Every structure is written in C-alpha cells, then in structure tokens.
C-alpha cells in the first residue's frame, strides 16, 4: 500500500513539475520584438507558441526573424528534406534558423536553414494530450425559394490531427433538397483517411468512404482504398499533391440492384491558404476512378471549397461539387453538381 501511495505521489510531483516547467523558447520578430514561450508547431504558415501570460498565440511565419529552442525539432523543407535537431542559438544572419544536427554522443553539425524554405516544423516529443491536438471545423447553410417552395440544407464538418509521421481526418458533407411537389433528395458522404509521410515528399494513404447520392440513383456506396503519391509542391502558402492506387467498392442502388467493383484510383489536390487576417483557404480535390472489373465504366468526384474569415474562427464558405458516373442507375443522370454557401466555425 505504501508503495502505491509513494508511486502516486511521485507521479503527481513529476506531472506538477512538467506543468510548471519554464517556457524558454525565444521567437524574435522582424520588428525586433522578442516573445518567450513554448514552440508547439509550424503548419500552414503559422507558428503556434504557448506563453505563460497571454496563452497560446499564432504568429505568421513571414513575421519571424529567428527562433531558439532546446526542444528536439523535426523540420520539413520545400525540397522534401526532413531533418531533426536542436536550435539552441540564433543563426548569425536574420531570416534563418541554425539547426544543430548530429547523433547522440557525437559533435552536432550546424545547418543554417532559410525560414522561407521551411514549410513545417514540430517538436518530436509533444506532451500535449491527444485531444488538444485535434483540429476541425463545421459549417451550416440553408436556402429557400418561395416560387417553387425549394429548400436546400447543407452541413459540413471535419476533424483530424497530425503528428510528425502521419495525419488522419474524418470529413462529413451532406446536402438535402426538398420541394413541396416532389420527394426530397439527399447527397451525403463520410470519408476517413490516414496518411503516412514518407521521405522525399512521398506519402501513402488509406481511406474508407460511405457515400449516398439519390440524384445518381445511389443508395449507399462503401469504398476502401489505398493510394501512394507525392507532394509535387510545398510552399508556405500552398501545396499540391498527386497519387494513384486501388479501391474496392460495393454499391446498393435505389432500384434494388447491387454492384461490386475494383477500381483504379487517381487523385490530385491543390490547397492555397493565406493566414494573414482575414484568413483565406481554397482547397480543390479531383478523383478519377476507372473500373477494372466493369469494362468502360468511369466515375469521378471533384470539389472546390473556398473559405474566408469573417471574425476570428468564424468563416464564410462557398463550395462547388460535381459527381460523375458514366453508368449510373437506370434513368439517373450522369452528373450531379451543385453550389452551396454556408457559415462555419473552426477550432
């Protein structure tokens, strides 16, 4: 019993010590200001810094002249290199970070890295609990046309997390259209992805999708896929990636028929983001899936989402989507596309 109490006391003291640990990372801005805190990560052109007095702040990456930290960092460059090291002293030239690279027990090698060429940076040992690393958003939109009593309700939500080796995300999109003289129609998708980062900007990704599109005669499609690809471009305000792989799907159609299929999967996405206020984020995704088991059948999905910040964390979104199937259910059109507007919140 005494051992248990002693162990509990030791754990409590260690936890308290960790919580009270001084935040000694130093960020120097281009205007000469110095901010002391704990560097958490750099992603999408923003440095996250946790301070003692003013909480967590977000600093635009191009506003930083130098950083110093005793934390072990993983740094990802625009050319795809990933390096590990410490930055215990500022670089002799403003606009660079001096990363000390070397094996334990050996003499570290200083490498001066231009800040402009760093696209991501993270601490290797992040003590935050998992839920503090979650990021996501949700948005809601509604429109009504009195002339034909047309109602359109759209809902979108996403949540995910990222560490030094992988990224996962779950995304929900749903649009319901109803009219007094006609039955309602629903378009919805739930997509979960797990991406693993590989050397030289390569990546592998697994996905699980559930889709419903009554306009194309689809009651439910279940799909599992695997993709291998590469980030073709990574900059402070943009990234472009492309990949190819295989997918297996099962379709339940509104006419009661069922279809199993193995498909090739080609996908590309481009994201452009500007985090200076007001924040702007445009994300375009295109996926083409030619069937390997149904000769001549080709499906495609495309979407563009553009967000513009209204006030902090509150945004206005315009979304355009297009679903294509050259062999839909009998009587259904080949294309279903639409444009929605909504108001949302990020966290």
CATH of the domain at 173: 2.40.230.20
Tell whether the model's pLDDT for residue 246 goes beyond 80: yes
Q: Are 149 and 181 in contact (CB under 8 A)?
A: yes
Secondary element (H or E) of residue 325: strand 314-325
HEC per residue, 214-253: HHHCEEEEEEEEEEEEEEEEEECCEEEEEEEEEEEEEEEE
| Mean pLDDT computed over 310-323 | 92
In a domain, 9, yes or no: no
Other beta carbons within 10 angstroms of residue 251's beta carbon come to 19
Q: Residue 185: its pLDDT value, please?
A: 86
- Both 120 and 148 in one domain: the answer is no
Q: Residue 133: its pLDDT value, please?
A: 73
Considering only 3-7, 194-198, 286-290, which range has the smallest mean pLDDT? Answer: 3-7
- Among 126, 153, 182, the domain-final residue is 126
In a domain, 247, yes or no: yes
103 falls in which pLDDT band (50, 70, 90)?
A: low
- Both 113 and 209 in one domain: the answer is no
Here the tokens at position 208 are 């699980």
Range of 73's domain? Answer: 23-126
- Both 137 and 55 in one domain: the answer is no
Domain count, the chain: 2
What is the spatial distance between Cα 296 and Cα 279, in angstroms, rounded to a whole number? Answer: 43
- Both 165 and 242 in one domain: the answer is yes
308: helix, strand or coil = strand
233 CB contacts (<8 Å, ≥6 apart)?
239, 240
Considering only 95-104, 124-133, 193-202, which range has the smallest mean pLDDT? Answer: 124-133
- Both 163 and 107 in one domain: the answer is no
Spell out the long-range contacts of 317-324 with Cβ–Cβ below 8 A and sequence spacing 24 or more: 317/139, 317/141, 317/156, 317/341, 317/342, 317/343, 317/344, 319/154, 319/156, 321/173, 323/187, 323/213, 323/216, 323/299, 324/298, 324/299, 324/300
Strand duo 64-77 + 298-311: pairing: unpaired
22: helix, strand or coil = coil
In a domain, 13, yes or no: no
Angle at 77 between CA 75 and CA 79, to 5 degrees: 150
CA distances for 282 relative to 3, 174, 311, 318, angstroms: 57, 19, 18, 10
In 3D space, the residue among 165, 19, 28 whose CA is nearest the CA of residue 95 turns out to be 28
- Both 176 and 118 in one domain: the answer is no
- Both 111 and 140 in one domain: the answer is no
| Mean pLDDT computed over 309-320 | 92
Q: Are 230 and 242 in contact (CB under 8 A)?
A: yes
Sign of CA dihedral 234, 240, 241, 242: negative
- Both 104 and 188 in one domain: the answer is no
Tokens 């248990």 correspond to what residue? 4
In a domain, 337, yes or no: yes
- Give 319's Cβ-side CA count (13 Å radius): 23
In a domain, 11, yes or no: no
Mean pLDDT, the chain, rounded, equals 86
Kindly report, residue by residue over 194-224, the tens digit of the pLDDT.
999 998 889 999 999 999 999 889 999 999 9
What is the spatial distance between Cα 190 and Cα 172, in angstroms, rounded to a whole number? Answer: 5
Sign of CA dihedral 10, 13, 19, 25: negative
In 3D space, the residue among 319, 323, 276 whose CA is nearest the CA of residue 137 turns out to be 319
How large is the C-alpha radius of gyration of the chain? Answer: 24
- Among 106, 126, 146, the domain-final residue is 126
- Both 158 and 87 in one domain: the answer is no
In a domain, 312, yes or no: yes
In 3D space, the residue among 109, 100, 114, 110 whose CA is nearest the CA of residue 65 turns out to be 114
In a domain, 14, yes or no: no
Tell whether the model's pLDDT for residue 12 goes beyond 50: no
In a domain, 6, yes or no: no
- Both 174 and 234 in one domain: the answer is yes
| Mean pLDDT computed over 254-259 | 88
| Mean pLDDT computed over 20-24 | 59
Kindly report, residue by residue over 29-76, the tens digit of the pLDDT.
999 899 999 998 888 778 888 888 888 888 888 889 999 998 888 888
CA distances for 81 relative to 75, 84, 147, 199, angstroms: 8, 10, 58, 7
- Among 80, 106, 126, the domain-final residue is 126
The DSSP code sequence of 125-149 is: S--S-GGGG-EEEEEEEEEEETTTT
Question: Which position has the higher pLDDT, 257 or 125?
Answer: 257
The DSSP letter of residue 7 is H
- Both 158 and 271 in one domain: the answer is yes
The DSSP code sequence of 161-230 is: EE-SSEEEEEEEEEEEEEETTEEEEEEEEEEEEEEEE-GGGEEEEEEEEEEEEGGGTEEEEEEEEEEEEE
- Both 162 and 291 in one domain: the answer is yes
């Amino acid at each position: 019993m005494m051992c248990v109490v002693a162990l509990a006391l030791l754990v409590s003291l260690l936890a308290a010590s960790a919580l009270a640990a001084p935040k000694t990372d130093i960020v120097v801005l281009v205007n000469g200001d110095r901010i002391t805190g704990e560097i958490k990560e750099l992603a999408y052109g923003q440095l996250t810094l946790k301070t003692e007095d003013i909480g967590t702040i977000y600093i635009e990456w191009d506003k930083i002249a130098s950083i110093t930290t005793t934390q072990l960092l993983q740094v990802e460059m625009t050319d795809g290199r990933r390096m590990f090291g410490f930055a215990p002293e500022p670089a002799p030239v403003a606009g660079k970070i001096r990363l000390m690279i070397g094996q334990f027990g050996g003499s570290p090698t200083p490498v001066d890295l231009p800040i402009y060429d760093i696209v991501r940076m993270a601490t290797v040992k992040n003590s935050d609990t998992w839920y503090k690393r979650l990021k996501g958003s949700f948005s809601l939109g509604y429109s009504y046309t009195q002339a034909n009593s047309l109602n359109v309700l759209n809902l979108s939500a996403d949540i995910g997390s990222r560490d030094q080796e992988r990224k996962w995300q779950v995304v929900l999109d749903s649009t319901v259209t109803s009219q007094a003289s006609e039955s309602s129609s629903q378009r919805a998708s739930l997509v979960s992805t797990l991406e693993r980062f590989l050397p030289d900007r390569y990546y592998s990704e697994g996905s699980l999708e559930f889709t419903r599109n009554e306009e194309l005669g689809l009651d439910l499609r279940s799909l599992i896929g695997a993709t291998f690809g590469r980030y073709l471009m990574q900059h402070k305000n943009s990234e472009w990636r492309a990949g190819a792989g295989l997918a297996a799907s099962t379709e339940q159609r509104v006419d009661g028929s069922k279809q199993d299929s193995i498909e090739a999967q080609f996908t590309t996405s481009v994201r452009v983001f500007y985090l200076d206020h007001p924040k702007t984020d445009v994300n375009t995704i295109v996926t083409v899936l030619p069937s390997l088991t149904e000769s001549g059948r080709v499906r495609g999905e495309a979407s563009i989402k553009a967000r513009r910040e209204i006030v902090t964390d509150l945004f206005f979104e315009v979304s355009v989507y297009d679903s294509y199937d050259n062999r839909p259910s009998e009587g259904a059109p080949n294309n279903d596309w639409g444009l929605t507007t909504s108001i949302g919140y990020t966290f």
